[in-house]
Structure formats: structure tokens, C-alpha cells
Amino acid sequence: MKLAILKETSPGETRVAAIPETVKKFIALGADVAVERGAGAAAAIADADFEGAGASSGERAEVLKGADIVLGVSGPETESLAGVRPGALLVAALDPFRRREAITGYAAAGLEALALEWMPRITRAQSMDILSSQSNLAGYKAVIEAADAYGRAFPMMMTAAGTVSPARVFVMGVGVAGLQAIATARRLGAQVSATDVRSATREQIQSLGAKPIFVDSVAGIEGEGQGGYAGETSEEYRRAQAELVSSHIAKQDIVITTALIPGKPAPRLISDAQLATMRPGSVVIDMAADSGGNVEGTVANERVERHGVTVIGAVNLARSLPADASALFARNIYNFLSSLWDKEQGGPVLADDDEIVRAVRVTKGGQVVAERLAG
Ligand code: NAD
């Protein structure tokens, strides 16, 4: 079983899909591992580190030659995959909805493509979930970016020249990224509050020492929501939420928004008029910028000034922590493939009735098989 680890080619990508630790573990399972030269450079992993773990390194064509499994962070261009075995597995974050043509290309090339971002949110798959691992780092980094853009300090400081008041940070959307943002802002000494539509998050917010800000007059989403995901809320709820946010937001220095609804554009949580009520110098980090944004006027990948407020359209913040992001991503992939590994077959066996396999499999036998892509 030959595993190929590719050097990423998408602009701005810094991560790599394997680290020496996971290379060693794959070799212990009986695999041969080949790493494209320079694959780990941006994540501070030298070719020699991969070689030291037992991998070979070479140019892309050599690495792909006869490969049974290809690992990537993002989905590679189909044309760049010549040489792999027919039926080879391609394991990466394939962005299937936005890269529909590439998916058709993988099918035509006879690859069995597995989209890691479609890992189901079930307990067994927790250690394989790239969205969680990368969101965790992104939530941390959002706070660091906010602190950097903010012209004041986060913690309260008592100095001989007077007192510096603590920053007030409001986190909207308390999933994996939001929880880490709350924890990070608390560690920096800010006064933190947070909101979500899922009622189960109230206790999580409190347990991190932050103040929950919730709509109480209208029912939101009970408990965890379906599989931990939020759905769309009623019109009445949205109105009550907007009112609550309006009164709260004017008193905040930093707002971090992370709200996402699967398969839908990100919910709009902050209007331009609400932004205008914030103190000049305040900072808003919109972590949903890539899905349409939670904040009116957000531009993905850009920093814009509105009414004296800096609005940062944060995209893929995990990329700015390449070493940690790669390590977690690589372990997610290892945990996934090793869970399917069959010693006798000497490689992963993908059972059609496995909940995880069914969720992530996008192409097989020359066809696009993902139900989510039908129609
Ligand atoms: P997500 O990225 O889908 O959404 C981020 C947050 O935004 C969610 O908490 C959501 O409820 C919230 N949100 C949506 N609409 C909103 C609105 N209008 N106003 C305010 N908030 C809104 O979520 P996520 O980070 O992937 O995680 C969500 C839950 O799933 C968490 O409880 C997490 O622990 C769980 N989870 C479980 C697994 C697993 O078991 N394998 C993996 C990942 C996440």
C-alpha cells in the first residue's frame, strides 16, 4: 500500500496532510509513504524530517507513481494526479459544493474521493474531524487578530498613571471556534459574553466564565440541535435576537462572529446600523466571511473600516498556524484511515454500510456517488 503526500498548490495554503509522527504510524501499519519534496516547508517540516520518519521524498510524478492513497489538505487538480493506481483513494478537504467540476474530474479519473469536511458529527468520528480541529485553532487566532487590530489592551491594568479598563468581547455563535475564542479572550483578561441559538451552549458559556446573552422570549433551538448543527430560526426569533444584539453590541469593544448553518448562507447577525452604534476603534472579526458573512459589509480576506469600526473578514485562520494546523489535520487523517485499516488486506477497507464512509465518499467506480451532490 503506497501513500502519497502532496505539496499543496492552492494560493496561501501553508499546511501539509502528514507530519513525521503520522508517517511513522502509517509505516507501522505496513504502508510505504512517499512525500512530495517541499511539502512540509511552510509548516516547518523539512524533507529530511519526513525521511527520518521512514518516508521517501521526490517530485510529484515519482511520489504519485503507483500510489494507492493520495493525501492532501485541499483537493488537488485532477490533471496533476497522473500515475496513481486505478481506484486509488483521494483523501482531502475537497470542497465538493464549490469544486463540482473537480469532483467530476476525480470520478472520470477513476479515483475514490473522500471529502474530509463531510465527516459526520458523531462521537466515533470526533478524532477524525478536520472542521473541529481547524476551527479550534481558528477561534484562538481570531482573538489574537482582534487584539492586534484593537488600539487598547485586553486585560485590566492598574498603573501609576491610572487604570486601563478591560476589553469587552462578545462572541456570537458558540460552536467549536466560538468556545475556543471565549477561552482565549478570557485568558487575555477580557470581559466576555456570548450568544447562540442552541440552548445547550448556555451552560458551556458559563463554564468558561463568560456571560450568556440569550433570547428568552421566543424559543430558539432546543439542546444541541440536530447533530450539533443549528437550523434556521423563526422570523419572530430573528427579530428578538436583533433587538437583543442591538442593545448589547453598542457596549462591546470586540465582536467575534462564528455562526454557520450547514448548506445555507451564514445568518446575518449584525447590520450596518448596529455597527454604527459601536465605539470607534472597536473591532469585529467575521469568521463566517467565506460563507457570506454574519456582518453586513464584510469582505472576505479583507479588513474594512465602517463607522470607525474595523471589520475583518477572516478566512481560514488555521492556515496562519501551519505547524499546529498540520499536526491536527494529519492526525485526523491518520485516525480516519487507521480506523478502516484491515491488517490482512494491508490497507483501508471501505464498507458501504459504514456511516462514516457513506458520509465522506464522493466518487467511486467512475461515478459521483455523494447524495448531497445529486441534482
Ligand atoms: P458550526 O460551525 O456549524 O456553527 C457555529 C455556531 O453558530 C453553532 O454553535 C451554531 O449553533 C451557531 N449559530 C448558527 N446560527 C446562529 C445564529 N443565528 N445566532 C447565533 N448562533 C448561531 O458549529 P460547530 O463549531 O461545528 O459545532 C457545533 C456543535 O457540534 C458543537 O456543540 C460541537 O461540540 C458539536 N460537534 C461535534 C462533533 C463530533 O461529535 N464529532 C464534531 C464537531 C462539532
pLDDT digits (tens, 9 = 90+) for 108-140: 999 999 999 999 999 999 999 999 999 999 999
Instruction: Please give the DSSP secondary-structure letter assigned to residue 318.
Output: G
The reply to whether ligand 1 has any atom less than 6 angstroms from the CB of 132 is yes
Q: What is the CA radius of gyration of the chain?
A: 22
Q: What is the mean pLDDT of the chain?
A: 95
User: How many A from CA of 248 to the centre of ligand 1?
Assistant: 22
- Distance of alpha carbon 228 from alpha carbon 240, whole angstroms: 22
Q: Are 81 and 64 in contact (CB under 8 A)?
A: yes
Q: Which residue has the cell 496513481?
A: 84
Q: How far is the CA of 91 from the centre of ligand 1 (A)?
A: 24
User: How remote is the CA of residue 132 from the centroid of ligand 1, in Å?
Assistant: 10
- Residue 2, H or E segment: strand 2-5
Extract the runs of DSSP E, i.e. beta strands, from 27-66.
Answer: 32-36, 56-58
Confidence of residue 374 (pLDDT cuts 50, 70, 90): confident
Q: Yes or no: say if 299 and 284 are a contact pair by the CB < 8 Å rule.
A: no
Burial of 238 (0-12, 13-18, 19+ CB in 10 A): middle
CA dihedral 128, 134, 140, 145 (to 10 degrees): 180
Question: pLDDT, tens digit, for every residue of 135-192?
Answer: 999 999 999 999 999 999 999 999 999 999 999 999 999 999 999 999 999 999 999 9
Which residues carry out catalysis?
A: 121, 126, 129, 132, 229
Q: What is the per-residue pLDDT for 216?
A: 85
Alpha carbon distance 56, 89 (integer Å)? 19
Q: Which three cell numbers stand for residue 19?
A: 507530519
For residue 53, pLDDT beyond 80 = yes
Place of cell 507501522: 28
H or E stretch covering 183: helix 176-187
φ/ψ of 200, rounded to 5, equals: -65, -20
| Cα separation, 202 vs 106, whole angstroms | 43
Give me the helix-helix angle, 322-339 and 130-149, nearest 10°.
Answer: 170
Phi, psi of 225 (to 5 degrees): 80, 170
